[in-house]
Amino acid sequence: MKQVPLKNVRLAEGYLSPYYRLVRDVMIPYQWEAMNDRVEGAVKSHCIDNIRIAAGQREGEFYGFLFQDSDVAKWLEALAYCVQNGDAAEFEAIADGVIQTIKSAQQPDGYFNTYIQLTAPERKLTNLYEAHELYCLGHLAEAAAAYTQATGKRELLDIVLRFIDLIDSRFGSGEGKLRGYPGHQEIELALARLYEVTNDGKLLRLGKYFLDERGREPHFFTQEWEKRGGLSEWTQRSEKLPADYTYNQAHLPVREQDKVVGHAVRAMYMYAAMAEIGRLSGDESLLDACRVLFEDLRRQTYVTGGIGSTNHGEAFTFAYDLPNETNYSETCASIGLVFFMHAMLKTEVDAACADLMENALYNTVLAGVSTDGQSYFYVNPMETVPEANERNPARTHAKSRRQKWNACACCPPNISRLLASIGKYLYSVDGDTVYVHLYAASDVTADLKGGPFAFGVRTGYPLDGAVMLTAGSDVTDNATLAFRVPGWCGDASFKLNGKNADVSVRKGYAYITHKFVKGDVLELSFDMRPRVVYANPGLRAAAGKACIRRGPLVYCLEERDNIPNLHSLSLDASAEIREKPGSVGGMDCVVLTAGGFAEESADDSVYTHIPKKRAARELVFVPYHLWGNGGDLGEMIVWVRER
Amino acid sequence: MKQVPLKNVRLAEGYLSPYYRLVRDVMIPYQWEAMNDRVEGAVKSHCIDNIRIAAGQREGEFYGFLFQDSDVAKWLEALAYCVQNGDAAEFEAIADGVIQTIKSAQQPDGYFNTYIQLTAPERKLTNLYEAHELYCLGHLAEAAAAYTQATGKRELLDIVLRFIDLIDSRFGSGEGKLRGYPGHQEIELALARLYEVTNDGKLLRLGKYFLDERGREPHFFTQEWEKRGGLSEWTQRSEKLPADYTYNQAHLPVREQDKVVGHAVRAMYMYAAMAEIGRLSGDESLLDACRVLFEDLRRQTYVTGGIGSTNHGEAFTFAYDLPNETNYSETCASIGLVFFMHAMLKTEVDAACADLMENALYNTVLAGVSTDGQSYFYVNPMETVPEANERNPARTHAKSRRQKWNACACCPPNISRLLASIGKYLYSVDGDTVYVHLYAASDVTADLKGGPFAFGVRTGYPLDGAVMLTAGSDVTDNATLAFRVPGWCGDASFKLNGKNADVSVRKGYAYITHKFVKGDVLELSFDMRPRVVYANPGLRAAAGKACIRRGPLVYCLEERDNIPNLHSLSLDASAEIREKPGSVGGMDCVVLTAGGFAEESADDSVYTHIPKKRAARELVFVPYHLWGNGGDLGEMIVWVRER
């Protein structure tokens, strides 16, 4: 199974195309300005300057987090996808300039990391646990893979390969090497992706080594900690040995891990790498571990596709522990979830994976950016009360409005690179079968065993549930189209040239085999009627509550469409949910209304024996991913009480 | 108005007397053992050893928090109350020994604080913001007041007065003095109490000075911080100037404070001092500030009388922000709430104050100790799920079971001193009126204007609502008994010698005037039928939920009486609540049952469109203060969903 590569998928006008344009026309330029500290009111980035300083082009000091370089790398990667799509040519020159600066800053041995070079050159590669050097290299490697594919230029690729050579000479199981691996996983996934571009087996072996070694005893992080006398890169003081390495998913060898734990982004990047490297290297044991972890992950995922139940360590807790007020649900973590599910789908066609990928994408990832592309959520709360998010310290990590930039700005360019490359996630091919994982208007050429097969998809999905696929070329022999039937969909129909198609469904995919000729039309129809969603009783935070989903979109209540104190509202369980066309922040959407109730005080007491007064009130729901766009700061809730 | 002193109130057999006996027979000896590190499985205290080391009686190093001395002081105070009650004579010798050791440790200038003496003598009184020297002195002063009253011995009093003289010579508004005041309020309240024992006006003036000066600009804490170069006593490093002094209620002059903020125990001790010193010094402006703060406090108090919505700073947040999962509700804070309300009641007779005092006492304070007296809650959660309290960092501050001792052991001896002196809180006298604030079986002598009036109260309250008061002596002229009618009570009746009494009710107190003769009987009857309690709609955490109260006791559901996953249960709004006699952890109580529902999964999904299955199920409620006594570790909730 292989994905249909990005160059063979061109988005057409639909629900996702405005987001692609947002990346290309707004986010790429805006983020360039932000990284150059030219956005008024945005927090300082300095990440471009860090590179210039390291290259000797400018005087100054390093500023920012020790992984500040990775922002530039992710931005370069996003830009590369736009270039590959034939867009953003004017940014190619800027990218080339940045790459030249990186080249100037790179040390003779291949090393490049502005934090270490500018603040602590003597500590180069001595603290993999904390210093994020391999993490930053991983992001640069992903950028290099994309940029090379897009432009054919090898300069960034060469920079990266030289650094990887240095790493490969220092770390590994060979004699004289340190048995190290990164504190923040990322390079493993990057090596897999780079391997797919270069076919250099050394890259795959190095990525697999990092996974194989991780969590083994004697523990590398402990040995490294002893060597550096406990010196922490974060506090610049000697610190105690960590109690365990759960935070970094290095508490156990990766194949022995069966619970989703620790820092959510680290976990997702690692699991994605396990699935990719497992597939590429034919190591079934890595894939088996992924399957086990996936089952636990589903029980630790919010209905919005958010993950990370606690801000402490931006981490998972345990199955069904999904509090609404104190959750983290970092945008980057859901991006990582898309990576993981996409990697799983390359091995096994299971709609459960595609459902989760779609859920994370359409709800939490899209929520991460404002409709004007210029502000971002790092944390994606399940409910906000502005005063509580300002004044209750358990909740201050979640903001009631998107920020222009973050001190830790991992999310904004991560959103850019995912949305710019969203075409990658739609289709894959196995022999003469084309799998359609996500529905987005697009023009595609799939390389089947029997030769290329061109087709076009037109749909307003998820605004409506009609998807039309038109064959743009003949196939030489029978071909199969396998369409995901979304898990949320109660009723789906498939017509081939106006007649009910012959369909067999396996693991949530509907298979239609036909000798397609140009002009053949497949019409799919998914029932998009809004539905009430209930959580498992184990999910305490949703006890007595419901939320509404329409297609893949989870809905929420906003104060500006309803009333202050959204907690006083409840949904009438028997109410009909009505649809009406609407728009939030300039994006078209379907607004939902349903009967419900508002509660008012019987008196002024804090506590009383008199039941609250209840009045009928229509509730207005909008897609979660659009909340907080425009209007005043207000409350938002996803799970609403049901009566 | 004056309280009926402890020596004139003797508890008789009733609901509180077992708790008094628990202090006398178990907690005083147990806590002595714990402070001497002789309780197996309890965390280290070392607080007695610290004093011995400071006195030169033993080699060793200081161990513990910088306020470790205060545990000993509170324990001495508790012991003094038992001695005053004619009990615990065998502990008087131990107390005298401890006092002698303190005397040996006291420095020639009167200073005494083992943390400073043993770890940093050069920093004596240089960091009032953090070092807790005045806090520890305050607790020792309260112990001295109690011990002197109980025994007539002056040794501890002299120790304390010498230290106070030192403080008075260093701090104040006089020339050459530092305009300092403590980072943790306590000495203000202690000075007021000591003043009432010694009648030395200097004590009252010093206490009032600390209140008057607090929060004024230029800010003493900032000046002090500059002088010590930012050196923190906690981290032993130079630390940044705090953003503000809200945590210590020193952000504004105390009379300008109108919102309840910061560390809850500090707040309560300060407000109590403001009320006491306002009354004793005739400063109405302090009392006015208390009245304003009381109104905000009511909206930041849990239904259980717990306060402190967040563990971050063990602090208040804002009105109605009372989350169930992440609350703090420290036992000591509710003890402070009892002090504050008791102080208010000395000035104005308002049942709202006595209701809150009773609520804090019967629910959170009593919950602070196990029925065997040997384990303690520091934090009093509104709901526990053992796995979440172990694995979700936002909740790990709350424990699912009481602890044998705490590293910061402020609560255990604080509970002891409150329960040992509970007689102080029952009655007060103004002219020829006796106010009955709390109902507890007791034998009392009240000094009325017209002479002493003896009476006995017999009641099982709050097991039942019948209270019988029998005059034990004649009064020379008319006397008035003013009985609080609890706010939770829907129906109360008053009979004098078998006939309906002539009653007038003002601010929640029922006044009965009569020329009592020995043998007169007043029979009170309070309707104790269990009632459902609802919260104001602003209180988000209780939206759609109810709790049950019977008399002053708030009830809860425990897993062991019900089922795991208490969140899956809901209460039938129309259900009759039935009472049955029961016992938890050996304490008699009324167990309540009511109809309700349990929800089960429709399927195995995390999220589903199928509503949960609901089955009728009887719910079993026990008094909140008895939860977690005996049996396995399990879940508990106070607010339960109502259908």
Tokens of A161: 């390969």
Band (pLDDT 50/70/90 cuts) for residue A604 is: confident
Residue B583 buriedness (CB in 10 A; 0-12 / 13-18 / 19+): middle
Tell whether the model's pLDDT for residue A631 goes beyond 80. no
The residue with greater pLDDT, B1 or A23, is A23
Contact B544 A608 (CB under 8 A): no
Q: Which residues of B touch A387 (CB under 8 A)?
A: 318, 321
What is the pLDDT at residue B450? 92
For residue A136, give both structure tokens: 């930053």
Q: Tell me whether residues B326 and A326 touch, CB distance under 8 A.
A: yes
Q: Residue A290 above 80 pLDDT?
A: yes
d(CA B45, CA B72): 10
Tens-place pLDDT, residues B496-537: 999 999 999 999 999 999 999 999 999 999 999 999 999 999
Interface contact flag, B568 A543, Cβ < 8 Å: yes
Q: Give A612's contacts in chain B (Cβ within 8 Å).
A: 534, 537
* Contact residues on chain A for B612, CB-CB shorter than 8 A: 534, 537
- H helix intervals, A263-369: 264-281, 284-298, 331-345, 351-359, 366-367
What pLDDT sits at residue A96?
98
Q: What is the ipTM of this complex?
A: 0.94
Residues B21-29, mean pLDDT to the nearest whole number: 97
Share of chain A above pLDDT 70, in %: 100
Q: How confident is the model at residue A407 (pLDDT cuts 50, 70, 90)?
A: very high
Digit-coded pLDDT (tens) for A304-331: 999 999 999 999 999 999 999 999 999 9
> Which pair of tokens denotes residue B627?
């939860």
B637 neighbors A544 (Cβ within 8 angstroms): no
Helix (H, G, I), strand (E, B) or coil at B129: coil
User: Which residues of chain B are within 8 Å of residue A565 when distances are taken between CB atoms?
Assistant: 537-538, 540
- Cβ-defined contact of B600 to A299 (cutoff 8 Å): no
Q: In percent, how much of chain B has pLDDT > 70?
A: 100
- pLDDT over 80 (residue A238): yes
Residue B631 confidence (pLDDT) above 90: no
Distance (Å, rounded) from C-alpha A428 to C-alpha A349? 10
Give mean pLDDT, residues A182-189. 98
Confidence category of residue B601, pLDDT binned at 50, 70, 90: confident
Residue pairs between chains A and B whose CB atoms are closer than 8 Å: 152
A539–B606: do the CB atoms touch at under 8 Å? yes
The span from the CA of B276 to the CA of A148, in Å, is 77
Residue-wise pLDDT tens digits, B162-192: 999 999 999 999 999 999 999 999 999 999 9
Stretch A186-191: mean pLDDT? 98
Mean pLDDT confidence for A250-262? 98
The backbone torsions φ and ψ at residue B306, rounded to the nearest 5 degrees and listed phi first, read -80, 150
Options B276, B314, B383, B558, the catalytic residue: B314
- Report the mean per-residue pLDDT for chain B: 97
pLDDT digits (tens, 9 = 90+) for B424-444: 999 999 999 999 999 999 999
Question: Cβ A312–B393 below 8 Å, yes or no?
Answer: yes
| Per annotation, catalytic residue among B47, B332, B353, B410 | B410
Nearest by CB to A536, from B392, B536, B605: name it.
B605
DSSP states of B251-301 as a string?
Answer: SS-GGG--S--SBHHHHHHHHHHHHHHHHHHT-HHHHHHHHHHHHHHHTTB
Looking at residue B1, what is its pLDDT? Answer: 87
**Count of Cβ atoms closer than 10 Å to residue B536 Cβ:** 23
Contact A534 B573 (CB under 8 A): no
Contacts of B537 in chain A (CB under 8 A): 565, 567-568, 599-601, 612
- pLDDT of A1 reads 87
Q: Measured between alpha carbons, how far is B287 from B353 in angstroms, rounded to an integer?
A: 14
Residue B122 bears catalytic tag: no
CB contact under 8 A, A608 and B326: no
Q: Distance (Å, rounded) from C-alpha B617 to C-alpha B138?
A: 52
- Tell me the two tokens of residue A403: 């920020």
Structure tokens at B500: 């309906």
Q: Which residue of B has its CA nearest to A295?
A: B606
**pLDDT, average across residues A138-144:** 98
Q: What is the mean pLDDT of residues A217-232?
A: 97
CA distance A309 to chain B (A): 8
The DSSP line for B459-507 is E-TTSSSEEEEEESS--SS-EEEEEE--TT-S-EEEEETTEE---EEET
CA distance A51 to chain B (A): 31
List, for residues A144-183, the tens digit of each pLDDT value: 999 999 999 999 999 999 999 999 999 999 999 999 999 9
CB-CB: which of B393, B544, B607 is closest to A570?
B544
Residue B77: what pLDDT?
98
Instruction: Return the amino acid letter for A425.
Output: Y
CB atoms within 10 A of CB A285: 11
Interchain pair A641, B543: CB under 8 A: yes
Q: What is the pLDDT of residue A603?
A: 79
B396: nearest CA in chain A? A312
The residue from A332, A410, A489, A547 that is catalytic is A410
Please report which confidence band the pLDDT of residue B459 belongs to, taking 50, 70 and 90 as the band edges: very high
Mean pLDDT of B240-260: 97
The whole-angstrom separation of Cα A540 and Cα B570 is 12
Eight-state DSSP code of residue A438: S
Q: Is the pLDDT of residue A422 over 80?
A: yes
Q: What is the pTM of this model?
A: 0.95
Match 């089947």 to its residue by tokens. Answer: A448
Q: Which of A314, A358, A383, A558 is catalytic?
A: A314
CB-based contact A612 B537, cutoff 8 Å: yes
pLDDT of A383 > 90? The answer is yes
pLDDT for position A80: 98
Contacts of B559 in chain A (CB under 8 A): none
Which of chain B's residues have a Cβ under 8 Å away from the Cβ of A544?
Answer: 544, 570, 641
Res A89: pLDDT: 87
Pairing of strands B504-506, A9-11: unpaired
Average pLDDT for residues B372-394, to the nearest whole number? Answer: 97
Inter-axis angle of helices A69-84 and A28-35, nearest 10: 160
Mutation to test the A interface, candidates B303, B565, B607, most A Cβ within 10 Å: B607
Q: Report in angstroms the alpha-carbon separations of B248 from A235, A627, B125, B190.
A: 27, 38, 18, 18
Average pLDDT for residues B300-321, to the nearest whole number? 98
Whether B128 and B224 have beta carbons less than 8 Å apart is answered as: yes
B134 vs A521, B112, B189, CA distance in Å? 85, 10, 11
Name the strand (E) or helix (H) holding A159: helix A155-170
3-state secondary structure of A524: strand
Burial readout B408-426 (b: 16 or more C-beta within 10 A, e: otherwise): ebbbbbbbbbbbbbbbbbb
Q: Tell me the H-state helices in B106-186.
A: 114-119, 133-151, 155-170
Do residue B540 and residue A394 have CB atoms under 8 angstroms apart?
no
Catalytic: B314?
A: yes
State how far the Cα of A70 lies from the Cα of B480, in Å rounded to an integer. 79
- Chain A CB contacts of B544 below 8 Å: 544, 570, 641
Q: Which strands form A492-496's sheet, in the order they lie side by side?
A: A9-11, A442-448, A451-459, A466-471, A521-526, A492-496, A499-500
- pLDDT (0 to 100) of residue A425: 98
Q: Which amino acid is at A160?
A: V
Q: Helix, strand or coil for residue B47?
A: helix
